[in-house]
């Protein structure tokens, strides 16, 4: 063999050796999934996609970023409900909350109860029947202390075997959920945000500088808003740190490579246009998968819904999906990407509301069924937050521009249409623009079809008996925890809701 051929064959052998010994992250090849992998959900409260891998620049989130590098990152994932209990009722069943009657926040908690429709079961039960050890906890995991559930229907606590998968039988796979407080860490007042920021400085050596924060254009640039957003970013840092601890435990136990890890949040940041509302700030969430059978370094741009976590997990474990389940296994070979996602907001605590939306690649359509009411209706939970108090102060002082004043309009348009490509902040409503009559009609039809096809229970108002039942429990909680002034505020809000309903508003 001449010298040229020797060099050529040597190069080929070196290339083949590189393929054999390259790391999965280099080749993006997926290890074959074990027959029964462990499943771990990490679910975070009150947090949008403010992680480095999603483009956040003021902080670095190395642990969540590593999950994304080693798995698949979905850039367009959306919750079907922008508040915790309705979101959680949906993902634990793989069903739209509107389809199972669990669409009102913290409903069915009093004497009046909500039961799941025939054929719909919480998926921990399906994992139990398949031989999985099921857990739900906070972090750090504490013995016999279950984590946040917050379901709007009757359920049996025995569907969770415990709080720690370490108690499973040898060789038994686990289905675990870890619930993290996320954005709630900063609290609701300026003082609590400042206090949390100092804790972050002690823990990380620095805190997010409010002066560096860039607020969305629909919020005024005030010290209160900046400090709150900075503290929120510090809560993202803390969440990332805890994710690192969770992954470290899986590594130490030697089960990381046998565990499908799913990371997401239950809705967006708690703010005036975030949590509880259907703008991107409220429904767009991070969604990352890492584990056996998942190709590393994958980024997907297709539209998915958070309920898909149920179908993804069951399919990974080889458990048949219930025929009625509305979630989709977005990893299936025959998966057909959605043309649109849907979301809904209904009553939150005492505040009666009825909103629906559909979002495609380009457009967002929101239908306001109660247009005679203001965007910022009375809500005891939100009205005590310093950011809402500051917004109202700025409005009264005449400090808001025309975009920011929209939050305080006494009524709302029945329909909102936004061109997300050209208006990502959703501040220019095109529903009345003749040039967009065609997409408006298309979005109307999509939403109408979804409402009928999924049997949206919100088509009928909540019964007075259910509302009164939940409010009596809510009032009783306030009696035990709050002040006389707080209790009076809540009672006044309840009466306001009833007056508006009587007036047809």
pLDDT (0 to 100) of residue 32: 62
What are the structural domains of the chain? 36-502 (3.40.720.10)
pLDDT digits (tens, 9 = 90+) for 307-328: 999 999 999 999 999 999 999 9
pLDDT (0 to 100) of residue 13: 36
Q: Please, which pLDDT band fits residue 209 given cuts at 50, 70 and 90?
A: very high
H or E segment and range at residue 12: helix 3-21
72-78 and 304-305 strand pairing: parallel
Tell me: pLDDT of 339 over 50. yes
Cα–Cα separations (whole angstroms), residue 40 to 21, 171, 306, 376, 505:
29, 16, 15, 37, 44
Beta strands in 71-158 (DSSP E): 72-78, 133-137
State mean pLDDT over 231-238: 98
Least confident of 73-82, 161-170, 429-438, 483-492: 483-492
Tell me: pLDDT of 121 over 50. yes
Mean pLDDT of the chain: 94
CA count, 13 A, side-chain hemisphere, 343:
32
State mean pLDDT over 117-132: 98
pLDDT (0 to 100) of residue 505: 95
Sole residue written with tokens 């409260």 = 45
pLDDT digits (tens, 9 = 90+) for 359-411: 999 999 999 999 999 999 999 999 999 999 999 999 999 999 999 999 999 99
H or E segment and range at residue 364: strand 363-368
- 167: tokens are 């108690």
Q: Please, which pLDDT band fits residue 134 given cuts at 50, 70 and 90?
A: very high
pLDDT digits (tens, 9 = 90+) for 82-98: 999 999 999 999 999 99
> Where is pLDDT greater, at 23 or 198?
198
- 439: tokens are 């997409």
> Of 32, 18, 54, which Cα lies nearest the Cα of 295?
32
pLDDT (0 to 100) of residue 25: 33
- DSSP states along 254-266: T-GGGEEEEEEES
> Of 103, 47, 41, which Cα lies nearest the Cα of 342?
103
CB 246 within 8 A of CB 139: yes
Cα–Cα separations (whole angstroms), residue 49 to 55, 329, 441:
8, 22, 31
Output phi, psi for 183, to 5 deg. -65, -15
Tell me: pLDDT of 130 over 60. yes
How many other CB atoms are found less than 10 A from the CB of residue 459? 11
CA count, 13 A, side-chain hemisphere, 216:
18
Q: How does DSSP classify residue 106?
A: T
pLDDT digits (tens, 9 = 90+) for 421-475: 999 999 999 999 999 999 999 999 999 999 999 999 999 999 999 999 999 999 9
Q: How does DSSP classify residue 299?
A: E
Tell me: pLDDT of 351 over 60. yes
Tell me: pLDDT of 30 over 70. no
Cα–Cα separations (whole angstroms), residue 423 to 270, 275, 285, 417:
22, 20, 19, 10
415-419 and 363-368 strand pairing: antiparallel
C-alpha 30: how far from chain center: 27
Q: Please, which pLDDT band fits residue 15 given cuts at 50, 70 and 90?
A: very low
d(C-alpha 168, C-alpha 255), whole Å: 13
Sole residue written with tokens 């040229």 = 4
CB 308 within 8 A of CB 80: no
pLDDT (0 to 100) of residue 33: 63
d(C-alpha 476, C-alpha 482), whole Å: 10
CB 228 within 8 A of CB 215: no
CA end-to-end distance (rounded Å), the chain: 90
């Amino acid at each position: 063999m001449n010298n040229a051929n020797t060099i050529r064959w040597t190069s080929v052998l070196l290339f083949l050796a590189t393929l054999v010994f390259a790391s999965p992250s280099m080749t993006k090849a997926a290890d074959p999934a074990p027959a029964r992998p462990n499943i771990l959900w990490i679910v975070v409260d009150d947090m949008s996609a403010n992680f480095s891998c999603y483009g956040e620049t003021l902080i670095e989130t190395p642990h969540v970023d590593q999950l994304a590098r080693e798995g698949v990152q979905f850039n367009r994932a959306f919750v079907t409900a922008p508040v915790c209990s309705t979101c959680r009722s949906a993902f634990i069943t793989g069903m739209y909350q509107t389809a199972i009657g669990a669409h009102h926040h913290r409903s069915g908690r009093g004497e009046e109860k909500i039961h799941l429709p025939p054929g719909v079961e919480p998926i921990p039960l399906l994992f139990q029947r398949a031989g999985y050890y099921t857990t739900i906890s906070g972090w750090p995991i504490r013995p016999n202390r279950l984590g946040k559930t917050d379901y709007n229907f009757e359920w049996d606590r025995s569907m969770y075997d415990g709080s720690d998968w370490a108690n499973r039988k040898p060789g038994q796979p686990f289905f675990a959920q870890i619930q993290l407080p996320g954005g709630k860490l900063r609290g609701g007042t300026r003082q609590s945000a400042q206090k949390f920021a100092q804790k972050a400085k002690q823990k990380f050596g620095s805190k997010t500088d409010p002066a560096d924060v860039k607020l969305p254009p629909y919020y005024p640039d005030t010290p209160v808003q900046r400090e709150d957003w900075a503290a929120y970013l510090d809560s993202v840092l803390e969440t990332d740190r805890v994710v690192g601890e969770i992954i470290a435990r899986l590594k130490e136990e030697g089960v990381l490579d046998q565990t499908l890890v799913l990371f997401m949040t239950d809705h967006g940041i708690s703010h005036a246009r975030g949590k509880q509302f259907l703008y991107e700030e409220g429904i767009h969430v991070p969604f990352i998968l890492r584990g056996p059978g998942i190709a590393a370094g994958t980024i997907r741009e297709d539209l998915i819904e958070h309920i898909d976590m149920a179908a993804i997990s069951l399919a990974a474990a080889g458990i048949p999906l219930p025929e009625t389940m509305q979630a989709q296994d977005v990893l299936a070979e025959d998966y057909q990407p959605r043309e649109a996602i849907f979301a809904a907001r209904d009553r939150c605590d005492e505040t009666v509301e009825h909103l629906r939306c559909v979002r495609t690649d380009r457009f967002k359509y929101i239908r306001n069924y109660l247009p005679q009411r203001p965007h910022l209706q009375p809500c005891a939970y939100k009205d005590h937050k310093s950011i809402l108090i500051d917004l109202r102060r700025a409005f009264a002082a005449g400090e808001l521009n025309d975009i920011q004043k929209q939050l305080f309009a006494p009524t709302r348009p029945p329909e909102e249409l936004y061109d997300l490509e050209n208006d990502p902040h959703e501040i220019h409503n095109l529903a009345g623009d003749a040039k967009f009559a065609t997409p408006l009609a298309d979005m109307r039809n999509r939403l109408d079809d979804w409402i009928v096809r999924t049997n949206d229970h919100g088509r009928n108002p909540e019964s007075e008996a259910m509302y009164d039942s939940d409010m009596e429990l809510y009032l009783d909680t306030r009696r035990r925890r709050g002040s006389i002034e707080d209790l009076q505020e809540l009672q006044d809000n309840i009466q306001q809701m009833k007056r508006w309903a009587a007036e047809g508003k």
